Structure 1
Amino acid sequence: MKGVSVAVITFLACVATMRAAAPGFSALPRTERAYTIRAGQLQHRPDDVDDTIAKALERLRESMSKGIPELQLPVLDPLNIHHFDLNISSELATIRGRLDDVVINNLSSYKLERIANDLDNLKIEFTLSFKPISLSGHYNVTGKAGFIDIFGNGPFSLRLNGLVVDCSLYLTSINGVSDGAASLASLDIHISISAIKAKFENLMGGGAMGDLVNELIGEVGPDFIKANPQEVSILIGKELQQLVNPILGQYTLRQILHQLKTSN
């Protein structure tokens, strides 16, 4: 869920600068379009595109506390998430449950560490780092960690230190032509966190056992995320595509490419 939020921030920054349709080449089949781009008919300078995205991120930061009505984008800092399903399976633990009424603070603290584009292959890569992120809400979970039953229901809070997000986005259109509605084809995300402070009230019935498991979450959480990159990427990618594609669908792939290449 944390990764969903930060990836949404970055990707929507790319489309937040768009205002109107722009001229370009006519609709082509996808393979022919890719050949046309590589042949240089849609020329661009990668550094200029990187600058466009970086500038859009800075503009977006200023809008996060207010939202962006023209993109139907709500307030992002703090970000409110009504409901989120948990479905975690790994060698360490299996957890099922839900998070409700989640509030995430300080998402606008991001710093752009790296950006690179490969528009010939409709790909954008970036790395973001964040100041400490706090989450709060209500949880309800059951599961197992080894031979130990995990259960709990109540308020929770999390503090994430040293959050870094590496992301690769791939663009496409829903019908495979440049004049078709844009969409997010795939998303690869890798998240690292240096430290986690967890407080799940009533976890394991509360008391000493609950305190112990909360401490274990803080100790093994960063390593768990590092050891399960594919599971994290799939979970985040699925949620992000469902959230972002309706917004992207307001523009054609040609519009997005033209805006990225000409904003400078």
Structure 2
Amino acid sequence: MKVRVYLVVFLQFLGYSCGVLSFKISDVFPVCKKNDDQCLTAAIEKALHYLCENGLPELKLPKLDPIAIPEISIGTKGSAADISQKYIDVKLHGFKKASVSNAHLDWEKKKLTFTVFAPQLDQVSSYDFNGRILIFPIRGQGKAVLSQSNVTVYHTIQFDTVKKQDKDYFKVVSYVISTNPSKTSFKVDNLFNGNEALSERVHEVVNDNWKVLWDEAKADVDLTYAKVYETFAQKLFGKLPISDLVIQA
């Protein structure tokens, strides 16, 4: 697989801000005692819901619901699909209803893990396809909706600590996710120059075989969204000292 993820404009929009914080930290991320996984889980869930509803304008962070990405390009080469996929003006809806579980911060290994569950996620975009899916040659442009239900997303953040002005901060070294839906469905318009009968047949076959198609595209999709989450985490941790997030005693 070859992936080209166009996040330049998005990441520029999230450019570093050096202003004084004007929001209350506990409104975004409640302070927890060290090694209190239950508190950490609740704190991450509260932060997720806050960012979904409000974003953080003070740090130039937009809302997390929907997540907006200017463009995603994926080149899939596998047994089920050999297709160039371009998604433009991508919006991912659904995380405002998500829950968080199993958060754990391993101080020795410098690793934070947690699980997010969303009942429904919908990725809405324009598309440009050229290639093959299963036995069907696919070529078209139009609107696309990728819907996933009962989605479990595993997050793994590797971090380091850095000192700034005599205070310690988390620094994200890597951010990895694994997205696991119980069902995925695709809906795209204007396939085959408006041939509705053929389009309906392709949709039926593709949605019946969603698992094998998702498995071949999953790594590229996970990489794309992990970059977005990493930017959010880096912005938050870069502004909030560890002492404001964790009670060490």
The normalised TM-score by structure 1 is 0.68
1:66 aligns with 2:51: no
- 1:140 maps to which of 112, 128, 131: 128
Instruction: State the partner residue of 2:74.
Output: 86
Instruction: State the partner residue of 2:201.
Output: 212
SS in 2 for 1:52: helix
Distance 1:211 1:74 in 2: 37
How far 1:164 sits from its partner (Å)? Answer: 0.8
Distance 1:160 1:194 in 2: 7
1:262 aligns with 2:247: yes
Distance 2:26 2:69 in 1: 26
Identity of aligned residues (%): 20
1:154 aligns with 2:142: yes
Q: Would the aligned equivalents of 2:54 and 2:63 in 1 still touch at CA under 8 Å?
A: yes
How far 1:140 sits from its partner (Å)? Answer: 0.5
The normalised TM-score by structure 2 is 0.71
| Map 1:14-163 → 2, pairs under 5 A | 17=25, 45-47=34-36, 50-145=38-133, 148-163=136-151
Distance 1:224 1:150 in 2: 14
How far 1:63 sits from its partner (Å)? Answer: 4.4
SS in 2 for 1:225: helix
Seen in structure 2, the aligned counterparts of structure 1 residues 184 and 94 have a Cα distance that, compared at 3 Å, is: farther
In structure 1, runs of 5+ residues without a counterpart are 5-15, 20-43
Q: Would the aligned equivalents of 2:40 and 2:104 in 1 still touch at CA under 8 Å?
A: no
Q: Would the aligned equivalents of 1:196 and 1:219 in 2 still touch at CA under 8 Å?
A: no
Compute the RMSD of aligned alpha carbons. Answer: 3.3
Distance 1:233 1:104 in 2: 13
Q: Would the aligned equivalents of 2:40 and 2:103 in 1 still touch at CA under 8 Å?
A: no
Instruction: State the partner residue of 2:187.
Output: 199
1:172-223: per-residue Cα shift (whole Å, max 9, x none)? 36xxx54487542122322111112321012243422222222233222234
Distance 2:228 2:82 in 1: 20
In structure 2, runs of 5+ residues without a counterpart are 1-6, 8-23, 28-32
**Structure ranking higher on relative contact order (CA contacts 8 Å, 6+ apart):** 1
